[in-house]
Amino acid sequence: MIRRCLLWRFIPQGILLSVFALVLVGCSDNRTPVEIASAQGILLLGNGSEPHGLDPHLTTGVPEHNILHSIFEGLIAYHPTDESAPEPGVAEKWECNSDATVWTFHLRHDARWSNGDPVTASDFSYSFRRILSPALGAQYADQLIVLKGAEDYLKGNTSDFSTVGVEVLDEHTLRLHLVGPTPHLPGMLKHNAWYPVNPGVIESFGSIDSRESDWTRPENLVGNGAFRISKWVTNSYLEVVKSDSYWDADRVSIKGIRFFPIEKASTEEAAFRAGQIHYCSNIPIDRIAYYRSRHPQVIRFDDYLGTYFYRFNTTRPPLDNPLVRRALTLAIDTGLIVREVTKGGEQPARGFVYDGVSGYRTPGNLQFDPVEAKRLLADAGFPGGAGFPKMEILINTQEAHKMIAEAIQQMWRDHLGIDIGVVNQEWKVYLDNQDNLRYDISRSGWIGDYVDPITFLMIWTSDSGNNQTGWSNRRYDALYKQVLLTGDPHHRNALMREMESIFLEELPAAPIYWYTRKYLIHPDVKNWHPKLLDYHPFKFIQLEPTGFRL
């Protein structure tokens, strides 16, 4: 009786299991998504987090930028191999006057929006007016204050855009008047803050300065890049396809790109291993050794224009004492950290500015020196760490930051005899506390906006919103003003070296290492070159199925 009953009970289970098995095995296609995509010419990219938006004038993040430079094109575009070389974009050619304060751009006649309209100089003028509109509240608007009169317009001191140094000579010639000599302007123009938007589209979904507008919805968005957006599923993927109206469409090899927002490195790596994405933008530290030894052809380490550092809150004693800051800095064994913790071939930072940026050599010579560190701490009144107040390192929640903080915590305990705690906060709270100087020591990183040392040095001026240490130095500020007015590269570099020397004397922050970009890329992807800012123009990328599987 009971036996029969059990048999009965298993029948539905059996049915379910067989359906399950059918679904499992019943997949006809044994190819991985990557193999299918390579054959179709679709690039599958891991792309950090879900894009906040697609308005080139409002977004600020890296994942957004990766998508934006595929669907928009500025005056200057990204070069496939060299980050500091300007590649003609909408501008065919350009020239500047002798002190690099007036620039003239000649726009190509065949540049088209994805709705067929020609891209004109007045479109650019409209776009610059849009991002500088005070009511738009664009966070990257200050990129444009190199333009004459832009700061006044942005601050609302004037509402007359003709006072801003943007001059439309004719539909295909645009002239920019700058506040000071800016030889690196072409590099700056690659940023999405300088991208054009289609005035007709903006006006039909709102006004020039409305933030909450539907024009960036996939069905409405009009761009001028090599690709156009076709589908966007929040938290799932965003798809762009090749745009036929693009002036250089003949050279665009791939049919489309899918951007997947994957935040966690371990998840992204699993997706790559399972053949679900071509490109994995982040490698968990523990997997580096595996790929290095087993699949060296997919792992890459590229130089990356960024510095990882620890901010000191110079308004809190004893961190207001440069001796203490120096002692803390010298007690960090940066070599050990890059070798044993981050493991991505990073370089210990000798100074703050990434070494070798457009001919600039850092004057810094910071090196791990526990003896000197101990002596400095004793000089500051804390021999052997005695009497050093209880302090904390502020980090945002992320595995790598936690590991580095714990390593540094131990180094300070071993070499200086001081006990420092670690506080882990989630991103927004961390930013808020750092901004309001509610921390002792805070983990930070800075990636250059363009290839020029000034992008690193400008954050330490007194009125920079990114200073966030309470440190200020009058000589440093004066030098910064001078740099902005100097056109001669040699003199400019000398001034900047002096700035960095002041920084290294005072050390409001402890430089730890210079970044590398570590990522995984499938061998099917061709023409993906190392780039200092990690911008890879997709129009040059090619896909060739190789049949490679991990």
Partner 1 sequence: MLRFLISRLLQTILVLYLIATVVFVMMKAVPGGPFSQERNVSEHILRKLEEQYGLNDPLHVQYAKYMWNITPKRFSPGALLRFDLKEGLGIDFGYSFRYEGRTVNQLIAEALPVSAELGFYALIIAAFLGISTGSLAALKQNTAWDHIPMGVVMVGICLPTFVMGPILILIFGFWVPESIRLPVLFWEPSYDASWMESLRYRILPAMTLGLYYAAGIARLTRGSMLEVLGQDYIRTARAKGVSPFNVVVKHGLRTGMIPVISYLGPVAAHLITGSFVIEYIFMLPGLGRHLINAALNRDYTLIMGTVLVYAAILILFNFIVDTLLVWLNPRLRLGSNP
Partner 2 sequence: MKRIPMTESSQLSTQNPSRLVRSPWGEAWIRLTKNHMAIAGLVCFSTITLLCLLAPWIAPFEPNEQNLLKGPTPPGSTHWFGTDTLGRDLAARTLFGGRISIAVGFAATLVAMTIGVAWGAIAGYCGGWIDAVMMRIVDILYSLPFMIFVILLMTIFERSLLLLFVAIGCVEWLTLSRIVRGQMLQLKTMPYIDAARALGVRRTRLIIRHIIPNLLGPVIIYSTLTVPAVMLLESSLSFLGLGVQPPDSSWGSLINDGAEKMVSYPWLLIFPSIFFSLTLFSLNFLGDGLRDALDPKSKDA
Binding window for partner 2 (CB under 8 A); candidates: 29-37, 119-127, 207-215, 283-291: 283-291
User: Can you list the alpha helix ranges (DSSP code H) found in 436-486?
Assistant: 454-457, 474-484
The binder of partner 1 chosen from 191, 242, 273, 539 (CB under 8 A) = 273
Binding window for partner 1 (CB under 8 A); candidates: 208-216, 288-296, 338-346, 374-382: 208-216
Q: Is 546 in the site for partner 2 (CB under 8 A)?
A: no
C-beta of 6 vs 250, nearer to partner 1 = 6
Residues sharing a CB contact under 8 Å with residue 319, sequence separation 6 or more, in sequence order:
312, 313, 325, 391, 440, 441
* Nearest residue to 70 via CA among 208, 212, 258: 258
Q: How far is the CB of 538 from partner 1 (least distance, A)?
A: 17
Binding window for partner 2 (CB under 8 A); candidates: 166-174, 178-186, 219-227, 399-407: 399-407
Distance CA 467, CA 437 (A): 10
How do 391-396 and 420-425 pair as beta strands? parallel
C-beta of 132 vs 330, nearer to partner 2 = 330
Q: Is 315 in the site for partner 2 (CB under 8 A)?
A: no
| Other CB atoms within 10 A of residue 505 CB | 10
Binding site partner of 473, from partner 1, partner 2, none, Cβ cut-off 5-8 A by kind: none
Binding mask 284-323 for partner 1 (x = CB under 8 A): ----------------------------------------
Q: Is 491 in the site for partner 1 (CB under 8 A)?
A: no
Binding site partner of 406, from partner 2, partner 1, none, Cβ cut-off 5-8 A by kind: partner 2
Peptide bond into 489 cis (omega under 30): no
Q: Is 295 in the site for partner 2 (CB under 8 A)?
A: no
Instruction: Give CB contacts under 8 A, 24+ apart, made by 446-449.
Output: 446/306, 446/307, 446/309, 447/304, 447/305, 447/306, 447/515, 447/533, 448/305, 448/306, 448/354, 448/357, 448/533, 449/143, 449/188, 449/191
- Three-state DSSP at 171 gives coil
Residue 423 vs residues 80, 114, 396, 397, 402: alpha-carbon distances, Å: 41, 49, 8, 9, 9
Q: Is 397 in the site for partner 2 (CB under 8 A)?
A: yes
> Residues 116 to 145: which contact partner 1 by CB under 8 A?
134-139, 141-142
Binding site partner of 168, from partner 1, partner 2, none, Cβ cut-off 5-8 A by kind: none
The binder of partner 2 chosen from 80, 180, 183, 284 (CB under 8 A) = 284
Binding site partner of 505, from partner 1, partner 2, none, Cβ cut-off 5-8 A by kind: none
> Residues 426 to 445: which contact partner 2 by CB under 8 A?
426, 429
Please provide the size of the chain in residues.
550
Q: Is 405 in the site for partner 2 (CB under 8 A)?
A: yes
Distance CA 521, CA 212 (A): 37
Q: Do the Cβ atoms of 526 and 542 come closer than 8 Å?
A: yes
> Residues 335 to 364: which contact partner 2 by CB under 8 A?
336, 340-341
Q: How far is the CB of 248 from partner 1 (least distance, A)?
A: 26
C-beta of 216 vs 329, nearer to partner 1 = 216
The binder of partner 2 chosen from 36, 208, 249, 423 (CB under 8 A) = 423
Packed helices 322-330 and 489-506: angle between N→C axes, nearest 10 degrees: 100
Distance CA 431, CA 440 (A): 14
C-beta of 399 vs 505, nearer to partner 2 = 399
Q: How far is the CB of 174 from partner 1 (least distance, A)?
A: 26
* Nearest residue to 469 via CA among 309, 331, 334: 309
Q: Is 289 in the site for partner 2 (CB under 8 A)?
A: yes
Q: How far is the CB of 349 from partner 1 (least distance, A)?
A: 19
Return the amino acid letter for 144: L
C-beta of 56 vs 537, nearer to partner 1 = 56
Binding residues for partner 2, rule: CB under 8 A, are 264, 266, 284-287, 289-290, 336, 340-341, 397-399, 402-403, 405-407, 409-410, 421-426, 429
